[in-house]
Amino acid sequence: MSDPSTGGQSASDELAYFPNAGSAQLALVRDPVKFSVRFGIERDALQPEAQDLLRNRATQVEQLAGQQLIVYTLSPAEAASAVQVLNRERSVEVAAPVLHRAGGGQDDIYVTSNFVVQFRPEVTRAQIDQLNSQHGVRVVEELGYAENGFLLAAPAGADGLGAIRMANTYRATGLTLFSHPDLISKKHRRRAATVAAPAGAGPSVQALRDAGYVSLQWHLQAANVVDAWSLTMGDPAIHVAILDDGTDTSHPEFAGKLGPQFDFSAHIPDATPKSDLENHGTACTGVAAAKGIRASGAAPECSLMLARFPEYLGSADEARMFQWAADNGADVISCSWGPPDGAGAAEPLPGATDAAIAYCLQKGRGGRGIPICWAAGNGNESVDKDGYSSNPNVIAVAASTNRERRAYYSDFGNAIWVCAPSSGAGSLGEKSILTTDRTGAKGYNDGSEGVDADYTNSFGGTSSAAPLVAGIIGLVLSANPGLTAQQVRGILKDTARKIGDGYDATGHSPDYGYGQVDAHAAVLAAQSQSQSSSSSASPPQSGRDLSVSGPAAVSRSGPPPVFTLDAGPGPQLFFAVEVATAAMLFDRAGHGAERTADTFYASWQDTGFLSGGQYSLPDQAWQRLRAADALYFRAWFSSSSQQWTDARATTSDPDFASAPAISITGQASADRELSVSGPAGVSRSGPPPVFTLDAGPGPQLFFAVEVATAAMLFDRAGHGAERTADTFYASWQDTGFLSGGQYSLPDQAWQRLSAADVLYYRAWFSSSSQQWTDALATTPDSDYAGAPSVAVGAAEQVAALHSVEHPQISGPAEVASDGPAPVFGFSLPAAMRSYRVEIAADAGLLDAAAAASRNALNFFASTTANARGTGQYRLPGAVWEQLRQNPDLYYRIAAASTPADAPDWVALDYSTPDAVAERAPRLAVTAPLGGHGTGRVLATGATNVTDPDELHWRQL
């Protein structure tokens, strides 16, 4: 790589920007030979000059897949002009020179077309829109973590640096709190180098198996964690969030502990490492919360929340990661990364990240705030130059050694809050940290460390100190979940044990902060605060008649329920409402770990305590919860809109069984196993085809059948106008929804359609015989290409179609995680009368021998349904909500010669038998269609109606 301090251009005004509201201007310089290209959604062919440039003259040196960037080099004489050539191409979103920090910074910095802005509160949307229009800027998205904040896209400009200039332009208006480009920069992990112990000095692997690994975890003793375990080992309801380069979630130390996870590179709910070099996060996760099979984390019974991000990350995604953690229920966050160590230059915190961290403090944990632990750094330099770990909203953690001295690498300064035991210099007898490593051959341990390969005995740095403190905070919050982030911070300060020297009159040392963390003392202090709160003067709601009420029943297809809150006479109280599909979920200690987005919702997940007399369940939560037969509810009342100190519930945790409930009426067709099947083929001269309908178990549903000579005719918006009497027939053209299990195509329709070689079909199911309110199709309009079909031909051709020897099933190659549930087509041998579909997160789980490893998150077997010949099966919506968290799904179909309701139903044949389960077809679950986060898209019969007769019928 070229040296930008000598070969780069000098900093100029256009290459300077303001990272946040209070920082000085930061200067950047161009790399003389490197430039990056991000292609847009347009896939037009490049012009000859651009083609020649990229194919014949430039050299591709790197590809950042997660950032959709390709990096090239060219001679200094050509690089600048190459960027201008590429920015004239329609298919190029932005081409720009690679940048570096002025003054000798070596890390590459990549420019995008975006910049991040938070406008002042008084600035109206009309003013913002006018400013955007004036400068040709468009809104990419609103910032969920910053009020009046936006991710904006600027014109790239000839040199690709338009986002930098536009960020400065917006800042100069005086209308913003911060305005900075969305630069992609390297995030450095903070694992210090360690000196290995002499060969043969450690115990043998066999000896470790005999004696146990916990004895090697000296840091747990040094931080008084083992003593703290006599008080609590953690609560599964408390989630420790690790934001790092991925965690090996298959490690036995993490089994049963995994909560939400997300990859901010691939944008999928999978935080596992994606390259052989991503080992850091697994080690950090183990320090915080490993179960203790061999190596224990500080909080072995707390749950985990995991985020993976790549080596290079944009500031917009970086900020979004913290919002994700807060919105998904993180109780404490650990970060062991940041700017480069030892650079000596100030590294300001981006305004967007600063705002997202503040969001965690203000909105996280129902307004109580999320403590954020940050590794101070391993550069043996002032932490106060590091805008990340010196942020007053985080807890900067330094490293101490087993000799109770500052680790030689540990950063120091005013921002250090506490220190925690970690690695030191092996030559001085200072030990490293034993923790989890990636399983198998990957990871830090190459077999030379004297411990099993799934563990490493060489971890350390402030990278280990931060998650150790985060795990201890998990214990503190397990002992007293009502503590605020500031109270947790105060407990760490007040209970830290003084080691070393250099403390000032306030008890602070630049090397150790307020001392070395003491888990036992911290948990005792948390319990003491809880007890003092409960034994102090009666809170304002003491003796008040607190109540929450809701309707006796609501329709599943109607609006969400509205609750009435009443705190009785007296000073104002604020409230929060919790809703669950099972009352036991109100018992945090016993069942808190079983809460999911599909079974539990609390208003405090989105905001602080509320005021007023009524509360309506948000639409998004209602969409997830309404599949249940009943919703249980309770309310919390507090004298504060932000604090839980004196909060009291209308139904206490031990009394969960007495919680009131709302009955949900109406049929959830989206969550039923709906299918329609027909013969593989019919003779053109014979009777019309007969279709078999199956809605699965549950209250009665009604159906309508549609038949077409071309599958695209099911796409109403795209091809509905092409339907004619000779190409399309629907039962609803003649009558309302039907009942029963079979449907024969009317003779009149068969005479018109039988000239075709193939007939495609689908069915609609509804809970009403006259209304389309909750109607759902077995094949959505957008999936018309997957519709099942019946071959129409001569009698001998049809006979051949019925010679299928084994059940067959097919599905889409991939489905977006926020798209509709997948639909599968199948064919059954002539002797088979019923079937069952099985879907698993791993092909091995289809084998009956693996039944003990199956659960609702990794396996589903449909109820048996009747069918003959070919048919279609749609995965129920509620099941899709569970399974879509997996990156891949494998499937097969089982068939039997008995009816579906036979008491002794046994599968006679499988499309993929147990013995070759690994050959089962695979369906990839891809990133959300709508961008970040997940949602649910259901096909209904209520939109995009183009057929006049159909429109008239549906309006009846």
Tell me which residues are annotated as active site.
244, 280, 463
- Rounded CA-CA distance 558/555 in Å is 5
| Tally of CA atoms within 13 A in the half-sphere of 646 that contains its CB | 16
Strand partners, 923: 889
Work out whether strand 92-101 and strand 562-566 pair parallel, antiparallel, or are unpaired.
Answer: unpaired
Is 533 in contact with 638 (CB distance < 8 Å)? Answer: no
Q: 95: closest CA among 77, 78, 74, 71? A: 71
- Residue 857's nearest CA partner among 329, 262, 289, 258 is 258
Contact 731, 738 (CB under 8 A): yes
Structure tokens at 312: 């290079």
Runs of H (alpha helix) within 152-261 = 162-172, 205-211, 218-222, 225-228
| DSSP state at residue 236 | T
Beta-carbon neighbour count of residue 486 at 10 Å?
Answer: 12
State the DSSP H helix or E strand holding residue 243, giving kind and residue range, or none if neither.
strand 239-244
What is the C-alpha end-to-end distance of the chain, expressed in Å?
A: 71
**Residue 45 main-chain phi, psi, to 5 deg:** -65, 145
CA angle (646, 652, 654) in 5-degree steps: 135
Q: Which residues of 304-329 are buried (b: 16+ CB within 10 A; e: fewer)?
A: bbbbbbbbbbbbbbbbbbbbbbbbbb
Question: Which CA distances in Å does 542 have to 539, 546, 643?
Answer: 5, 10, 16
Phi, psi torsion values for 619, nearest 5 degrees: -55, -40
Can you list the alpha helix ranges (DSSP code H) found in 334-374? 351-363
Strand boundaries in 452-573, DSSP class E: 455-459, 547-549, 553-555, 562-566
One-letter identity of residue 460: G
- CA gap 537, 543 in Å, rounded: 12
Single out the residue of 130, 140, 135 nearest to residue 182, CA to CA: 140
Q: What are phi and psi of 279, to 5 degrees?
A: -115, -20
Please count the residues of the chain: 956
CA dihedral of 832, 835, 838, 843, whole degrees rounded to 10: 0
Inter-CA distances, 741 with 242, 696, 744, Å: 52, 11, 11
Distance CA 648, CA 111 (A): 50
Measured CA to CA, the distance from residue 164 to residue 166 in angstroms comes to 5
